[in-house]
Structure 1
């Protein structure tokens, strides 16, 4: 009898949004393991060799170092910050990627890039990005139940599924000896990431030499209809998912299905 070997699944590397460690996406990512070798990154920006700095260039290099352990090209998927970093990494090292999909990325094009440059130069970047709202954010709670109850009342988390909120509470914290829980993602690093949001990527869609797609939340205040049209004019495939900027946690099943359809298109599958 002729031996048939099952090919190894393609690596799908997932890069998280600012402030949300990779394990926060468990309910969204876990079912994708039926088809891919899913590899969520933990906490970009926390390695001392890659401190947050100008235009996220060090964060891009940190991501590229993670990708160096894979022997074959990967599918790069990222949410918000993670999506932009995947595209930046693909522009620098296209041979490491099969394709890239960005989920609601803060990709500043055209006038938005000019506005970001001005905000940095004139000192009002905290008003233009979420940095100002992140300053002084709460980072500890008496226990996980108290944290969950607190977050459920906050606007950013209010529409999370129960499982997604549990994923964030469990995957985004550590428990101290006295039972208190504290955030794993350093709030100071979170602020620094927002303050250094890239302003140099206006022509990135044209520079990336791998298939590139975007999933946008229908109610996102970031990827507005105007910005979606701009991406399409630059040759980026765009698909919509119900929900706001945090749609992977609000609509995990719809996000998965739309992502799979996008990947089939980008990879040339029937």
Structure 2
């Protein structure tokens, strides 16, 4: 009840929660919300401005932009969730092992982590995606490969602060093996900062995926992915402002929603804020 009260007492957190819920519902019911087929061209209706028939207008081949954005919600949200679900467990386990065991194990894991962190994340993701070939699946792999080191550093730092706590010492005194202590005591009590970061990262992963699609390394036509829609609209921007404006707004609102929700979770889950 206290946690719920803290969440509901923050207007910005509630705004973020509402935005995220709308995004989730849009992705879940996209076929019912969309008014047209998102990939079917109609040359007779190309570059139509926003109207009652086409809420966000049409693109250069007559596809309904509103329907494409609605279906694109599924693609962007799936990319964000898969990347976080891959990188979060990997980074959490590696960070916990490094922090708890220490010594050469810690040094080896952290040096590998530092190698990945020494490159700008988006540049490394671009290199991996370019090497693997343009596709949504390869974008997911490229972003996951660049995201796990951040969770490793966060969890390791948190583990170092609790590894000598009294409840850990009590578990050792009772004869619990290191494996059980690591997964039953250490990780559950050090995962909160990484969870907060994961909620923030969902928006940034979606933004990064859109960036990779924008330069041609992600989703390919006729996929209704927001970054690809922005890329396709560059040549018609002067004649059809709506073709780029509405996908850009969709990215902006999505990133904003996850950021606001992540900040609210930080206030709720971070013990220093209590």
- TM-score w.r.t. the length of structure 1 is 0.23
Select the structure of larger CA radius of gyration: 2
Q: Which has the higher strand share?
A: 1
Which one scores higher on RCO, CA 8 angstroms, separation ≥ 6? 2
- TM-score w.r.t. the length of structure 2 is 0.23
